[in-house]
Copies of this chain bind each other. A is one copy, B any other.
Amino acid sequence: MNFQPLTPDLIAAFEQIVGEAYVLTAQRAEADVYADYGRDHTEDLHFAPDVVLRPGNVDEISKIVRLCHEHHVPVTARGAGTGLSGGALPVHHGVVLSTERLNRIIQIDERNLQATVEPGVINEAFQVAVKEVGLFYPPDPASKGSCSLGGNLAHSSGGPKAVKYGTTRDYVLNLEVVLPTGDVIWTAANTLKNSTGYNLTQLMVGSEGTLGIITKVVFRLLPYPQHNILMLVPFRREEQAAEAVSAVFRAGVIPSGMEFMEREAIAWSSDYLKIPLTLPEDIKAHLLIELDGQDMDQLYKEAEQVYGVLEHYDVGEILLADNATQKDELWKIRRNIGNSVRYNSVYKEEDTVVPRAELPTLLKGVKEIGARYGFKSVCYGHAGDGNLHVNIIRGELTDEQWNVGLRQPITEIFELCVKLGGTISGEHGIGLVQKGYIGIALQETNLELMRGIKKVFDPHGILNPGKIF
Contacts and interface: CB of A to CB of B under 8 A. Distances in A.
Interface in A157-200: 157-158, 162-163, 166-167, 169-170, 179, 183, 185-200
B111 A197 contact: no
A183 B112 contact: no
Given A112-B246, A446-B197, A190 B355 contact: yes
A195 B249 contact: no
Contact of A426 (B195, B249, B430, B449): B195
A447 interface: yes
A316 to B, nearest CB: 25
A301 B298 CA distance: 11
Contacts of A163: 192
Contacts of A179: 445, 449
Given A199-B202, A442-B196, A223 B254 contact: yes
Main secondary structure on A side of the interface with B: loop
Quickly give the copy total for this chain.
2
Contact of A198 (B113, B382, B450): B450
Interface string A136-162: 000000000000000000011110001
Given A203-B202, A449-B457, A250 B195 contact: no
Interface string A286-306: 000000001101100100000
Interface in A431-459: 438, 441-443, 445-447, 449-450, 452-453, 455-457
A189 B418 contact: yes
Contacts of A196: 423-425, 430, 438, 441-442
Contact of A425 (B194, B418, B422): B194
Contacts of A468: 197-198
A64 interface: no
Contact of A252 (B134, B193, B198, B358): B134
A461 interface: no
A156 B169 CA distance: 16
A191 B155 contact: no
Contacts of A295: 298, 301
B351 A427 contact: no
B355 A185 contact: no
Nearest to A194: B423
Interface string A81-94: 00000000000000
Given A156-B199, A195-B427, 5 more contacts: A192-B386, A195-B430, A196-B423, A202-B202, A223-B252
13 contacts: A111-B356, A112-B246, A113-B250, A166-B170, A190-B421, A193-B385, A193-B427, A195-B351, A195-B427, A197-B447, A198-B211, A200-B446, A200-B450
